[in-house]
Amino acid sequence: MELDNHAEDLASDLGIDKEEVKADLQNLVEYSVPIDEAKQSLRRKYGDDTGGGGGTPSSKDIGNITTDDGNVTVTAVVLTAGERSIRYQGDDHVIVEGRLADETGAIDYTAWEDFGLSAGDAITAGNASVREWDGEPELNLGESTSLSFVEESLEVPFEIGGEASIADVETGDRAVTVDVQILESERRTIDGRDGETEILSGVLGDESGRLPFTCWDPDPAIEPGVSVRIENAYVREFRGVPEVNVSEFSVVSTLETDVEVGTDTTTMGVGEAVATGGVYDVELVGNVLAVRDGSGLIQRCPECNRVVQKGQCRTHGSVEGVDDLRVKAILDDGTGAVTVILDDELTEQVYEGTLEDALEQAREAMDQEVVADTIREKIVGREYSIRGHLSVDEYGANLDAERFEESDADPATRATDVLAEVRA
Ligand SMILES: [Zn+2]
């Protein structure tokens, strides 16, 4: 509907067929070109160079920009500027993303043209278009934007540059600089947009926390145990948690002094943790209310490792399943609930037996469900402190446990703590 209106707008401005314009618009928007940029390029295509906006829009304070604004002119300091490659109509295109700020506020921007922006530059961006992203306004600097560098420096109440600690890194951050130690790193082959390609994936950390990372262009400086500075990384969500992405534009340099990695984790209420949308390393404390179906002794597909039911894998059909142990338990602390997943080792720990013991118990009972029943008897109704990775996505809120221990805190104290947290 909205696209329809834009097409009508353009068609009447340019005096051409609406359906033709609409098809072009649709095509551009499908390639995630912002609507204003798309309209602008169609104006050029159909020979209207006036920009259609009727002159340069007046200057606006960043703090006053709303998603209702069409085009604005801002004078601002570039806080961050990070390059990223996107594929658009079959070609790789380099865009620059980051944040701009003036005295009144800061705003994310995307530059579709190479303006040569770098952190600390003071600029005036004339006729920047405002788009909405996740309910917030963002600026697009494109071909219709007139950009000039300002001589005098601007004082802004924001830090220039993208230095961050791991605890502060959030999904959507661009041009981030972190000093970290590489904790795990593994070379993997993936099916990328240009066929098979090698990447590195692993875990990095600093004193404030740990996060997974992917390095799309394997850098020799990235090795387990090595401390590095990574400049111009971006953060996106992967499997429900923020992930640091090291791209071809990132700069990785080895640090002289080692970065210490904290062993502490954040303890959160379940409701609060779920509300964050995913936390890589978190401790939750609550009661195990139930052990879900698909726990205990299970069989996995030898091809894809997924759990098979009655010898059937959803992708590979009839397969010879491989025996394994796992637990899916519901943990609740009064503020929310998550499914806790225990791998084979943690399952052996709570079952107090090995896979062999489980197979024997199932053989004797002629029913493999007895293994889950045994686990149920041991853990349901008890309070546990669990450390792991929380992902929140279409599969629900799942905590991949790394540690699963009976809680030693007095339940009354715990209840008071949770209540205090809820009230705060
Ligand atoms: Zn399979």
Chain-centroid distance of CA 330 in Å reads 25
CA 197 to ligand 1 center in whole angstroms: 23
CA 352 to ligand 1 center in whole angstroms: 29
Mean pLDDT of 248-256: 94
Residues 246/214, Cβ–Cβ less than 8 Å: yes
CA 324 to ligand 1 center in whole angstroms: 15
Residue of 348, 362, 105, 398 lying closest to 239 (CA atoms): 398
18-30 and 35-45 are packed helices; what angle lies between their axes, rounded to 10 degrees? 130
Q: Using CA atoms, how far apart are residues 183 and 44, in angstroms rounded to an integer?
A: 51
Distances in whole angstroms, Cα of residue 157 to Cα of each of 109, 167, 310, 345 = 18, 21, 62, 50
Mean pLDDT of 317-329: 96
For 404, residues 6+ apart whose C-beta sits below 8 A from its C-beta are: 340, 342, 346, 349, 350, 384, 386
Per-residue model confidence (pLDDT) at position 96? 94
What average pLDDT is seen over the chain?
88
Per-residue model confidence (pLDDT) at position 50? 47
pLDDT, tens digit, 9 for 90 and up, residues 96-126? 999 999 999 999 999 999 999 999 999 999 9
Q: Using CA atoms, how far apart are residues 81 and 100, in angstroms rounded to an integer?
A: 9
CA 295 to ligand 1 center in whole angstroms: 18
CA 319 to ligand 1 center in whole angstroms: 8
Per-residue model confidence (pLDDT) at position 3? 78
CA 317 to ligand 1 center in whole angstroms: 7
Which pLDDT band holds residue 17 (cuts at 50, 70, 90)? confident
Mean pLDDT of 369-386: 96
CA 342 to ligand 1 center in whole angstroms: 21
pLDDT at position 1 over 60:
no
Please write down the HEC assignment for all residues of 110-150. EECCCCCCCCCCEEEEEEEEEEEECCEEEEEECCCCEEEEC
Strands 195-206 and 209-215: antiparallel
pLDDT at position 65 over 80:
yes
CA 302 to ligand 1 center in whole angstroms: 7
CA 23 to ligand 1 center in whole angstroms: 41
Per-residue model confidence (pLDDT) at position 30? 72
CA 323 to ligand 1 center in whole angstroms: 14
Tokens 């715990």 locate to 414
CA 321 to ligand 1 center in whole angstroms: 9
Q: Using CA atoms, how far apart are residues 170 and 395, in angstroms rounded to an integer?
A: 21
User: What is the token pair recorded at 386?
Assistant: 């669990």
φ/ψ (deg, to 5) at 27: -60, -45
Which pLDDT band holds residue 26 (cuts at 50, 70, 90)? confident
Per-residue model confidence (pLDDT) at position 246? 96
Q: Using CA atoms, how far apart are residues 29 and 23, in angstroms rounded to an integer?
A: 10
Residue of 283, 291, 281, 270 lying closest to 382 (CA atoms): 291
Tokens 């944040």 locate to 99
CA 214 to ligand 1 center in whole angstroms: 25
318: helix, strand or coil: strand
CA 328 to ligand 1 center in whole angstroms: 20
Count of residues in the chain:
424
Per-residue model confidence (pLDDT) at position 52? 44
CA 299 to ligand 1 center in whole angstroms: 11
CA 301 to ligand 1 center in whole angstroms: 5
Per-residue model confidence (pLDDT) at position 153? 78
Of 76-85, 231-240, 310-319, least confident by mean pLDDT is 231-240
